[in-house]
């Protein structure tokens, strides 16, 4: 019964279908692993043991009845930003510490219908605002490769796969820093219904998995039109697994000039160049591409995202749900203290930045200006995709940093997102795949493609993973 945790979703599914393991056995094993590592990593906010075992029994019954399906009985975890009916959804905040959603997020509903078993809800930066998972009301998450270091902006924990969200890099950055695969789909590809809103023009649900193949299997179950999300696109969902093995011959890769700049750790650059050699041997050609406005993506993001956050988080008023302060003097005091006490420091900072850039006299100078620069960045990407099929660069400028190293200065923390934000601003899909180590810490290679090019991204990532085993490495003590 040992060793199952190292398996991909595809491998687990095969074992479940041939009957060499049951979903109840697997679920029990993962629950035990969560209990074993929770103290050291703090990866979970809630573990939904009873519900998980019930779901696993139901999955086993479906399998016994001869039903087939890639996710039946496979244990997964959800980031605690996805609403789950009857279970707590905290978004890492005191504001929602006791919130039980009356409904399921579309993503949760679809994965449950596909037979996946929910183990629990993973820890995260409060309201998904952060690049280190240190701002959670429930304590920081630690990196399994070195518990003194941060895991990045969300966590897959010990589950074989987890849902996640990406507003400025919150899937790809932790994927890179923890040595797993992280897919942020095209804006509108995955329903945002029931996903607690941070910045609605940037937020997108996606996945943290061991392999690109697993991301393909899970995305197929999650993606698709949802009339309850007004930004959900009405496009058919392709068979993401069908094109995975396609040869890379003729693939044109653009090397993002702006990503190989002075801020990049030279050892990380070397790992990316090694990975590019592998892709070249597979038949891909490389050329340099420049996106001149890309260096402005961080300042653009830190206007647009806080502006949308200040508007979205106005709903937390201490009246209808969420935290309420003790003994309010009057209604204004109730609003101010409920919000002042219910939100953590980083969330308050972003609400204030957003309030400021939207306030009378500053709206044109900051908010509209940022949306204009965003249009320039988006046009840069569109031009690049006339020349190349995908763009490749590092996911992060450094490997995982130590806890507390960047909490003193928000701007230093924000610059971690320098390579990931561009795809969010332009609504593009992007994937981070493990491509080696620097001083024992994982490094991620980022592949960005045109809108709705998920099949191509997964194909490139999968072919790379067929030729490398970085994504199968486990931290010492977690094998």
- Least Cα distance to 93 among 301, 333, 339, 312 occurs for 339
- Work out which of 30, 193, 401, 414 binds another protein, going by CB under 8 A: 414
Residue 290 binds another protein, judged by CB under 8 A: no
Residue 369 binds another protein, judged by CB under 8 A: yes
CB of 260 to another protein, least distance (A): 20
Q: For another protein, how many residues bind (rule: CB under 8 A)? A: 75
Q: Rule CB under 8 A: which of 200-229 touch another protein?
A: 201-202, 227
CB of 202 to another protein, least distance (A): 7
Report the residue number, 238 or 427, with the smaller CB distance to another protein: 427
Report the residue number, 231 or 468, with the smaller CB distance to another protein: 231
Report the residue number, 111 or 353, with the smaller CB distance to another protein: 353
Q: Which one of 132, 155, 170, 297 is the catalytic residue? A: 170
Q: How far is CA 234 from each of CA 221, 242, 279, 420, rounded to the nearest angstrom? A: 16, 21, 33, 26
Q: Rule CB under 8 A: which of 441-470 touch another protein?
A: 451
> Is 154 a residue of the active site?
yes
Backbone angles phi, psi at 395, to 5 degrees: -85, -40
- Tokens standing for residue 31: 């629950």
> Is 170 a residue of the active site?
yes
Work out whether strand 390-394 and strand 285-289 pair parallel, antiparallel, or are unpaired. Answer: unpaired
Residue span binding another protein (CB under 8 A) among the ranges 25-33, 38-46, 114-122, 420-428: 420-428
Packed helices 9-18 and 212-222: angle between N→C axes, nearest 10 degrees: 70
- Least Cα distance to 173 among 381, 462, 424, 472 occurs for 424
- Give the residues across from 285 on adjacent strands: 252
- Work out which of 127, 138, 366, 385 binds another protein, going by CB under 8 A: 366
Report the residue number, 202 or 400, with the smaller CB distance to another protein: 202
- Work out which of 382, 467, 474, 477 binds another protein, going by CB under 8 A: 382
CB of 199 to another protein, least distance (A): 11
Q: Rule CB under 8 A: which of 157-186 touch another protein?
A: 186
Backbone angles phi, psi at 82, to 5 degrees: -90, 125
Backbone angles phi, psi at 50, to 5 degrees: -60, -50
Q: How far is CA 316 from each of CA 135, 203, 324, 350, 428, rounded to the nearest angstrom? A: 18, 19, 9, 15, 30
CB of 308 to another protein, least distance (A): 12
CB of 298 to another protein, least distance (A): 7
Residue 303 binds another protein, judged by CB under 8 A: yes
Contact 13, 21 (CB under 8 A): no
- Tokens standing for residue 439: 């001083």
Report the residue number, 92 or 436, with the smaller CB distance to another protein: 92
Q: Rule CB under 8 A: which of 315-354 touch another protein?
A: 317-324, 328-337, 339-341, 343, 345, 348-349, 351-353
Q: Which one of 93, 154, 211, 453 is the catalytic residue? A: 154
Residue span binding another protein (CB under 8 A) among the ranges 149-157, 165-173, 207-215, 292-300: 292-300
Q: Which one of 79, 121, 184, 406 is the catalytic residue? A: 79
Residue span binding another protein (CB under 8 A) among the ranges 10-18, 255-263, 424-432, 436-444: 424-432
Distance CA 218, CA 108 (A): 12
- Work out which of 51, 375, 438, 466 binds another protein, going by CB under 8 A: 375
> Quick one: how far is CA 438 from the chain centroid?
22
- Residue bearing tokens 């900072």: 349
Report the residue number, 275 or 457, with the smaller CB distance to another protein: 457
CB of 127 to another protein, least distance (A): 14
Report the residue number, 105 or 178, with the smaller CB distance to another protein: 105
CB of 170 to another protein, least distance (A): 16
Contacts of 445 (CB under 8 A, 6+ apart): 271, 272, 275, 392, 393, 394, 395, 432, 433, 434, 435, 464
How many residues make up the chain in this entry? Answer: 479
Contacts of 154 (CB under 8 A, 6+ apart): 79, 122, 124, 125, 128, 133, 164, 165, 170, 171, 174, 208
> Is 359 a residue of the active site?
no
Report the residue number, 260 or 356, with the smaller CB distance to another protein: 356
- Tokens standing for residue 198: 């941070």
Contact 195, 204 (CB under 8 A): no
**Secondary structure letter of residue 236 according to DSSP:** P
Per-residue x/- marks for another protein, 393-412, CB under 8 A?
----------------xxx-
Residue 88 binds another protein, judged by CB under 8 A: no
CB of 296 to another protein, least distance (A): 6
CB of 299 to another protein, least distance (A): 5
Q: Which helix (H) or strand (E) holds 40?
A: helix 23-41
Contacts of 299 (CB under 8 A, 6+ apart): 370, 373
- Tokens standing for residue 200: 């609605």
Contacts of 275 (CB under 8 A, 6+ apart): 435, 436, 445, 464, 468
- Give the residues across from 79 on adjacent strands: 122
Q: Rule CB under 8 A: which of 89-148 touch another protein?
A: 98-100, 102
- Work out which of 62, 246, 356, 398 binds another protein, going by CB under 8 A: 356
For the annotated catalytic residues, the residue numbers are 79, 154, 170
């Amino acid at each position: 019964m040992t060793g199952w945790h190292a398996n991909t979703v595809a491998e687990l599914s095969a074992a479940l279908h041939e009957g060499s393991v049951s979903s109840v056995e697997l679920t029990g094993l993962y629950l035990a692993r969560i209990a074993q590592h929770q103290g050291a990593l703090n990866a979970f906010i809630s573990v939904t043991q009873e519900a998980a075992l019930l779901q696993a029994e139901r999955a086993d019954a479906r399998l016994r009845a001869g039903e087939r399906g890639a996710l039946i009985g496979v244990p997964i975890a959800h980031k605690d930003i996805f609403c789950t009916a009857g279970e707590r959804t905290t978004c890492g905040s005191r504001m929602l510490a006791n919130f039980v959603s009356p409904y399921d997020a579309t993503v949760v509903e679809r994965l449950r219908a596909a037979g996946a078993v929910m183990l629990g809800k993973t820890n995260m930066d409060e309201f998904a605002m952060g690049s280190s998972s240190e701002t959670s009301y429930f304590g920081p998450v630690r990196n399994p490769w070195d518990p003194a270091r941060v895991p990045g902006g969300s966590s897959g924990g010990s589950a074989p796969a987890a849902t996640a969200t990406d507003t400025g890099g919150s899937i790809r950055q932790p994927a890179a820093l923890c040595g797993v695969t992280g897919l942020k789909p095209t804006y509108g590809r995955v329903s945002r219904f029931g996903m607690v809103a941070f910045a609605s023009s940037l937020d997108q649900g996606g996945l943290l998995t061991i392999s690109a193949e697993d991301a393909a299997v899970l995305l197929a179950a999650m993606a698709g039109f949802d009339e309850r999300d007004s930004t959900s696109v009405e496009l058919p969902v392709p068979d993401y697994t069908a094109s995975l093995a396609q040869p890379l011959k003729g693939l044109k890769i653009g090397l993002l000039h702006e990503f190989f700049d002075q801020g990049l750790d030279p050892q990380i650059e070397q790992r990316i160049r090694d990975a590019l050699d592998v892709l070249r041997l597979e038949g891909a050609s490389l050329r340099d591409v420049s996106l001149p406005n890309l260096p402005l993506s961080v300042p653009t993001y830190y206007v647009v995202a806080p502006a949308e956050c200040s508007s979205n988080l106005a709903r937390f008023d201490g009246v209808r749900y969420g935290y309420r302060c003790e003994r309010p003097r009057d209604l204004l005091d109730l609003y101010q203290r409920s919000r002042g006490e219910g939100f953590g420091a980083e969330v308050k900072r972003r609400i204030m930045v957003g309030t400021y850039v939207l306030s009378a006299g500053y709206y044109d100078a900051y908010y509209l200006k940022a949306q204009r620069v965003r249009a320039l960045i988006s046009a840069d990407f569109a031009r690049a995709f006339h020349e190349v099929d995908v763009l490749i660069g590092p996911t992060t400028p450094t490997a995982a940093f130590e806890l507390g190293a960047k909490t003193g200065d928000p701007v230093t923390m924000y610059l971690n997102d320098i390579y990931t934000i561009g795809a969010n601003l332009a609504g593009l899909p992007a994937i981070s795949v493990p491509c080696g180590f620097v001083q024992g810490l994982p490094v991620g290679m980022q592949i960005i493609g045109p809108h709705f090019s998920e099949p191509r991204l997964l194909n490139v990532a999968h072919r790379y993973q067929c030729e490398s085993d970085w994504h199968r490495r486990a931290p010492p003590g977690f094998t």
